[in-house]
Amino acid sequence: MASQVASPSVSLHTISSSTTHSTPAVSPSSPAELSPDDIELLAKLEEQNRLLETDSKSLKSVNGSRRNSGSSLVSSSSASSNLSHLEEDSWILWGRIVNEWDDVRKKKEKQIKELVRKGIPHHFRAIIWQLLCTAQDMPIKDQYSELLKMTSPCEKLIRRDIARTYPEHDFFKEKDSLGQEVLFNVMKAYSLVDREVGYCQGSAFIVGLLLMQMPEEEAFCVFFKLMQDYRLRELFKPSMAELGLCMYQFESM
């Protein structure tokens, strides 16, 4: 059985419609075995991993006096060393989707929806989520560090609720852990850019889920997109009129 990774140019339709079967794990041990597209994708995955590690290190330096929760945003192993956990077909398919996103999104929209419903592999999730909601390279990302230097009127409320967000999850359950700190940062930053909504405890669970997959700046951008472009902010306005409507519609189904 060949150990070389097949070219990501394999048909998206062929892979997505094929019968599920067991395949050998991908383990690109030598650059010579990889196509240019595979190398480019590896670089993207490595960049995501680097951002997560940088995120973690910066928080440790800022909060050095705080108790370390023992949690981390990602495994210390690099993305490339974890590729062995991806099935070969999945690596090829999602690798091609990422590398040819603009073209695939326009021509294979139905198939993309079907694949997303089946589940995005963990290693690709952060990248794909950002691509799906067009959150990559957003101008507001450059404002994030400045927002954190500002004071929000919602800070006390956010601090109060942090411990009640995913209280059983290893990343968030320890007081003053990295998880709690980045969750606070994202919620505070959003409360400053959307003062009408400000802060609502329910939205912290969305942010927490994003932080399990990506660094805080990327999580902030995806959350901003979800709230603004996908109208989730309507559910979290002080009147909660839209939430009441959704609950009524759900109960009437």
Q: What is the pLDDT of residues 15-30, one digit of tens each?
A: 444 433 333 334 444 4
User: In percent, how much of the chain has pLDDT > 90?
Assistant: 59
Spatial CB neighbours of 200, under 8 Å, sequence gap ≥ 6: 236
User: In percent, how much of the chain has pLDDT > 70?
Assistant: 67
**Which CATH topology does 141-252 take?**
Helicase, Ruva Protein; domain 3 (1.10.8)
Distances (CA, A) of 115 to 62, 128, 152: 40, 11, 40
Name the residue with higher pLDDT: 56 or 227. Answer: 227
Tell whether the model's pLDDT for residue 219 goes beyond 50: yes
Domain ranges (residues) in the chain: 88-133, 141-252
Residue with tokens 């930053």: 189
The model's pTM = 0.69
Confidence of residue 75 (pLDDT cuts 50, 70, 90): very low
Spatial CB neighbours of 143, under 8 Å, sequence gap ≥ 6: 193
pLDDT tens track for 155-208: 999 999 999 999 999 999 999 999 999 999 999 999 999 999 999 999 999 999
Task: Note the pLDDT of residue 141.
Answer: 94
Task: Note the pLDDT of residue 154.
Answer: 97
Task: Note the pLDDT of residue 10.
Answer: 43
